[in-house]
Amino acid sequence: SAVISQKPSRDICQRGTSLTIQCQVDSQVTMMFWYRQQPGQSLTLIATANQGSEATYESGFVIDKFPISRPNLTFSTLTVSNMSPEDSSIYLCSVVGGGPFGETQYFGPGTRLLVL
Amino acid sequence: QKEVEQDPGPLSVPEGAIVSLNCTYSNSAFQYFMWYRQYSRKGPELLMYTYSSGNKEDGRFTAQVDKSSKYISLFIRDSQPSDSATYLCAMSLNDYKLSFGAGTTVTVRA
């Protein structure tokens, strides 16, 4: 299994500012994923980050709002830009685990963001 | 209609009880079914994984899939206070994109 850490673990931010969340994995992985977990709602995939290429965003998420970097095979960042209170959520990164299509995933502990 | 619907809970049960958690889904093409457990202030961790209809047991946990009814369940036998967590069902077609339920929070009372 992969060990994943995230920084910061939590933050309180003012609207209009940006926050960059870091995700570090203890082994090299091809694919990393960023999710959002809003209170009482399902985990929602924001984007897939592959090393050496642009991130692939899911419907409803755009690069200007959630720019992602993937400089190497163990690290990725997600930036939440121009934040509003609606961005208050838990942000999680994950990596592929087992299964023929990588459908089992290992998750980081999450970053809890509150936007005032 | 959401793609995956999960009984919202919360559930509170006495220690030793059987916990029953349920999800329904609308997309009959889903092939892989998972249950994740999420403790407070932690990320989800994979608990059970199956890809066929029927039952799969792992210790005190049983995952049940009924593809004809588009229904999956997780049963926890002899529940312990350490089982207190939020349980998330998840499913996928044939790739890494997971569709999650909203989660059911379970409290096992000592």
Per residue in B44-102, pLDDT (tens digit) is 999 998 888 899 999 999 999 999 999 999 999 999 999 999 999 999 887 788 899 99
For residues A109 and A18, give the distance between their C-alpha atoms in angstroms, rounded to a whole number. Answer: 21
Which pLDDT score, from 0 to 100, does residue B36 have?
96
| pLDDT given at position A101 | 60
Predicted local distance difference test score (pLDDT) of residue A13: 97
Question: Which range, B12-16, B27-31, B93-97, is most confident?
Answer: B12-16
Contact A109 B41 (CB under 8 A): yes
Q: Tell me the DSSP string of chain B.
A: --SEEE----EEEETTPPEEEEEEES-TT--EEEEEEE-TTS--EEEEEE-SSEEEEETTEEEEEETTTTEEEEEESS--GGG-EEEEEEEESSSS-EEE---EEEEEE-
What residues of A are in contact with residue B34 (Cβ under 8 Å)?
Answer: 103-104
**Any chain A CB within 8 A of the CB of B9?**
no
Residue A100 has what pLDDT?
A: 62
pLDDT at B2 over 80: no
pLDDT at A50: 86
pLDDT at A1: 75
Look at A42 and B43 and tell me if their CB atoms are within 8 Å. Answer: no
Instruction: Look at residue B105 in the predicted model and tell me its pLDDT.
Output: 96
Q: Is residue B5 within 8 angstroms of chain A, CB to CB?
A: no
Nearest residue on chain B to A107, judged by CA atoms? B43
Q: Is the pLDDT of residue A102 over 70?
A: no
Asked if residue A31 lies in contact with residue B96, where contact means CB atoms within 8 angstroms, the answer is yes
Give pLDDT, residue B52: 84
Q: What is the mean pLDDT of residues B38-43?
A: 93
| Statement: residue A105 has pLDDT above 90 | no
Supply the pLDDT for residue A97. 75
- The answer on pLDDT for A89 being more than 70 is yes
Report the residue of B38, B88, B98 to disrupt the A interface, i.e. the one with the largest count of A CBs within 10 Å. Answer: B98
The predicted pLDDT at position B8 comes to 86
Nearest CA in chain B to A34: B97
Q: Average pLDDT for residues B11-21, to the nearest whole number? A: 97
Is B40 an interface residue toward A (CB < 8 Å)? no
Looking at chain A, the whole-number percentage of residues with pLDDT higher than 90 is 77
pLDDT tens digits, residue range A68-81? 999 999 999 999 99
